[in-house]
Amino acid sequence: MMTPTNIISAVRVGFSILFLWIVLAGNWVNLKNESFGVFDSQGGAGFGIVAVVLGVLMLLVSLTLAAEKEFTIKPLAMGGNQILLTLGFASFITVLSFLIIVHSGSFRALGGVRGAGWGAAGAGLVAYFLPQAVMAGFGFLGGSSSTPLNDSDRQKIGFAVFVSGALIAIAPLFEWFKTEEGAWTGYEPGAPRMGFLLLALGGAMALVGFMRLRPKGLVEPGGRLSHPHLQTVVSLSVIFPLIGWLITGFQRDDMSTGVGVWIGLIAGIVLLGVSVFELTKREVTAS
């Protein structure tokens, strides 16, 4: 019997399969006379490796959910749907970061890049719709509940979220990209402008942390998502693209990454640690 839940499960599996196939089969970078695939240092490079890992994980989680098997990381109050949402959003930000970098002036000039291939563009489009398919299923999961933190823990966590968010936002102010022609920060003209994604994500987390420091705190998002769930989504959406950028720098001889990338990565890991800590301190509904 095809229920709305079964339809959504099938859609999620379909999107996961389509994402992984496009990532692996498509071209990621087009030059004037040739194209490069997902694992080539001139193609997807580190971003391609990260996208494949995320694609495999999303497919495994979506298949497990479609089989109606219980899938919950109980100590962290993270269920399969929340994990799939996190992976889907991180996949979208990872591929979007790559698309931005490929069309940035100084990086594009390194190898005479014409633009991104259909593999990267298609994967970004699919990754855009997958989180929406996951969120559409939250409405069929029933009620949810969460317990509040005590004031001391709330203040500490709010401060940590604020600081880590601020560090993510300012990380691109430091050296981000180096070639024989020079060095750029993440916000300079001609630089790989994935830094502006970090500005948006980090700024949002800094605002959340600041609002949670207030005596009344900040209202939970609802819909089976608590503050630590969303903080986990953002932290992994920072960590995975930066890992892809670092791997790309290690793979290529004509460029390297700067200290700003490491600052952003460390800040993302701190935000993830704070989110995990909060999930262990509260009782929230895992879905």
**pLDDT band, residue 282 (cuts 50/70/90):** confident
**Exposed/middle/buried for residue 168 (C-beta within 10 Å: 0-12, 13-18, 19+):** buried
What does DSSP say about strands 182-185 and 175-179: parallel, antiparallel, or unpaired?
antiparallel
**Residue extents of the structural domains in the chain:** 4-281
The 10s digit of each residue's pLDDT in 21-75 is 999 999 998 887 888 899 998 888 999 999 999 999 999 999 988 887 766 666 6
Are 86 and 236 a contacting pair, CB within 8 Å?
yes
At residue 237, the pLDDT reads: 97
Return d(Cα 163, Cα 157) in angstroms, integer.
Answer: 10
Q: What's the whole-model pTM score?
A: 0.91
Lowest-confidence pick of 59-63, 77-81, 269-273: 77-81
Phi and psi angles of residue 36, each rounded to the nearest 5 degrees, phi first? -130, 145
Predicted local distance difference test score (pLDDT) of residue 20: 96
Spatial separation of the C-alpha atoms in residues 188 and 173, rounded to whole Å: 8
Joined together, the tokens standing for residue 90 give 């991180």
The Cα 261–Cα 258 span in angstroms is 6
What is the pLDDT at residue 172? 93
Mean pLDDT of the 96-109 span: 84
Instruction: Tell me what the mean pLDDT of segment 228-241 comes to.
Output: 94
Single-letter amino acid code for the residue at 104: S
The chain-wide mean pLDDT, for the chain, equals 86
Interstrand relation of 115-116 and 78-79 (parallel, antiparallel or unpaired)? unpaired
Q: Positive or negative CA dihedral for 241, 219, 82, 1? A: negative
Band (pLDDT 50/70/90 cuts) for residue 144 is: low
- Tens of pLDDT, residue by residue over 7-30, are 788 889 999 999 999 999 999 988
